[in-house]
Each structure stands twice: as C-alpha cells, then as structure tokens.
Amino acid sequence: MAASSTSPSAADVELRDVVKRFGDVPAVDHVDLVVPSGEFLALLGPSGCGKTTTLRIIAGFEQPTSGEVLVAGQSMRGVPPHKREVNTVFQHYALFPHMRVLDNVAYGLKQRGVAKAERQRQAAEALAMVRMDGFERRRPAEMSGGQQQRVALARALVMRPRVLLLDEPLGALDLKLRREMQVELKGIQDDVGITFVIVTHDQEEAMALADRIAVMHRGRIEQLASPTAVYDAPASAFVATFVGDLNVLRGTVLEGGAHPLVDVGAGLHLRPGRVVEPAAAGQQATVGLRPEHVTARAGHTPEGVEAAVATVMVVGHELQLVARLPGGGQLTARQPRDVDPLLESVAPGERVRLSWAPAAPMLLGPAGPGVSSSSGVPAAAGASTSE
C-alpha cells in the first residue's frame, strides 16, 4: 500500500516495495513506507506480523529479498549496519557489565577514534539528556532496569544517528516503570528532534508515543495513520479488533449499502455508523462496539436494551460490567464509576439496561466460520462475541 504522500526528499527512511522471505514464507510482503524527518513512528502488530523484520531491514541486520531501503534519500543496498545513519536500542540493553556507565556510553565514539576527553564530554552530555547525569561511575548491575534503559538510549543517541530504531525497548520493564519510561521516551524524542521508529506489540504504548502507527498483519501494513485515526476509523476488521478492546456481535444483514441494518438476535437491530468492511443483505456479518461507548444503568430506567449481568469489576475510577443480551450476545461496558453508583452492588443475573449512541457500532464485514470478517480475524480476538 502507499504509505504516505510525503516526498522522498523529506524522508529519513523510505521502503520501496520491500519483500523479505524466509524460505517460501513472506515475513515482509511488498511494504511501502515513508518516514518523514523528526517523526515518531510505531510499527505495531502481533507476533509474527513482520514488524521486527522490517526494523532489522532498516537497520541492515537483514537484507530484503527484493525492494529498496533508503536512509536520508540514499540507497542502503550493500551498506552494512555500522555504516548507516541509524542506531538501534534493543529490549535487552546489551550494556557491557564490566564497564562503568560513562565508558558504556562512550564506547561507540571510542571505536570511531574520538579522543578520550572529547568522547567523555559527549557521553556526559548524552547522559544528561536522558536524565542520568551523576551515574557516570556506576556499573550496569548497580542500576535498575529503567536506569539501564536510559543508559542504552544515551549510548545510541551519543552517536548522533539520523534515525533511532527501538526494538521493544520497554518490554523487560514492569508495568508502572514501563509507563514512566514511555513519558521519558516521548520527552527525549521531543528534545532531540530526531526520527524514532519503535517496534511494539503494546497498543497503549504505540498510542501514547507515536505520531503515526503502522499496524502490520501477515507481513503487510494494514493501516498507516495517526493513533486517533487508527482507533476511531480502522481501515480493516483486523485493525478494529487488534487496536483497543472491542465487543463483537454476530448477526444477519437485513439491509446492505452505506447505511446497513443488522439483526443481532432477539429483535435487536443495529445500524452501524461506520462500515469497516461491507456485507450484503442476507449475509452473516459481525458488528463491533467499543466498551467505552456502552453505558450501563441499574434500576428501572426505560432507556436501552435489557441485559443480564455476568460480572461487575471496579478498576480504579472505572467500572467494567459484562452482561448478556436477550439474543445470546455479550457486551462489555466500561464507564466512570459515578455514572451509576448502584451498579457496584449489582449481582450476577440481575437486570441492567445497556445503551449507546446509534452511530457507535461498526460493521466489520462478512463472518465466516469462527472468524469475524473476511480478513480472517478471530471472532473472540480482544472482544466479546455472541458465538
């Protein structure tokens, strides 16, 4: 697919019809991608989707089977990793355990023949950039995982690459530290202004960090857009179900076209406000509905659809409720606790009312056996389902 209208002269990275095969298996399948200078791009997708292979091709650790890679407008054909204007930070930081922090950061400059005083000065500046000044004399074993990650970033940044590649850089950290480092990483990128390309399978991480997200599936880019567009206007059923949580209901299309009507059972008819993939009248199809778009209320309110409670969970300031619809489908509602405080005491089996904006549902496309769309997305992937 055409990734961007950005002109090549403004691009730090460009992939032109890149294919990478391992035997007969295409790990990267005809990928076109343009990354403008200064952008923070996330390659997002499940394991085996080709995102890490794509990053390794940019870095030079893998050679494409066909196609071309350009960095700063220059072809990288035959150019080894150490001669490219890129640097890579890995999930496992690969710091030298016997070296102090300052020497770890300065190592690449030493390999380039930079004089000791100058490389130590530059290393100290890089450590200050990642808020690790004062740690120059420590060894890796004397630091936390988050501190080691910052040192690894400093070691990459001190080389002043045109592009910084990050391969699951926060994957080894616990959740709290991971979120703290996301803030730090975004701040560092804003400060240094160079192009960052990060590989992650964590949707929240991609949404928080990236200017644009390339959602990959089976070696291809399914959608390349801003985090908001990827979430609110998914380009395929796979993107809709992979990014964020999604209720998925199966039903019969009563009316096709731009404004379809779907019967999801027990007389509940939905007219999706967005058609992700079309389905014709008479076909079995799936409809997606984000949990945060569903509102649950206890008591005897006449609004909405009656449903039987399955579970209620308090998650911090939010309440998450799962309820079964009369037609057998199941919906999850996620909302602030103060929307209806009575819900916290509702028991399984009790009745509640579920409602949503008429345009909130999305038609995901025809449903095959055990799948939610013609894209082959599992019906239960990240979702509640009526099956």
Task: Pinpoint the alpha helices (H) of 51-139.
Answer: 51-59, 101-111, 116-129
Whether residues 212 and 257 fall in one domain? no
Between strands 86-90 and 163-167, the pairing is parallel
**How buried is residue 284: exposed, middle or buried, by Cβ count under 10 Å (0-12/13-18/19+)?**
middle
Q: How confident is the model at residue 4 (pLDDT cuts 50, 70, 90)?
A: very low
Rounded to the nearest 5°, which phi and psi values hold at 173?
-95, 155
pLDDT in tens, 47-61: 999 999 999 999 999
Q: Which domain holds residue 301?
A: 245-366
Q: Is the pLDDT of residue 371 over 60?
A: no
Rounded to the nearest 5°, which phi and psi values hold at 385?
-140, 155
Whether residues 22 and 154 fall in one domain? yes
Whether residues 304 and 196 fall in one domain? no
- d(CA 68, CA 206) in angstroms, rounded, equals 26
- pTM, to two decimals: 0.87
Q: What's the confidence (pLDDT) of residue 369?
A: 59
Q: Is the pLDDT of residue 300 over 80?
A: no
Q: How confident is the model at residue 71 (pLDDT cuts 50, 70, 90)?
A: very high
* CATH number of residue 302's parent domain: 2.40.50.140
Domain count, the chain: 2
Whether residues 50 and 124 fall in one domain? yes
Whether residues 101 and 203 fall in one domain? yes
Q: Cα separations (Å) of 256 from 277, 279, 290, 366?
A: 11, 6, 22, 11
* CATH number of residue 84's parent domain: 3.40.50.300
Task: Pinpoint the alpha helices (H) of the chain.
Answer: 51-59, 101-111, 116-129, 145-157, 175-192, 203-209, 227-232, 237-242
Instruction: Work out the angle between the directed axes of helices 175-192 and 145-157 (0-180°, nearest 10).
Output: 20
357 within a domain of the structure (yes/no)? yes
pLDDT in tens, 187-204: 889 988 899 999 999 999
pLDDT in tens, 152-178: 989 999 999 999 999 988 877 788 888
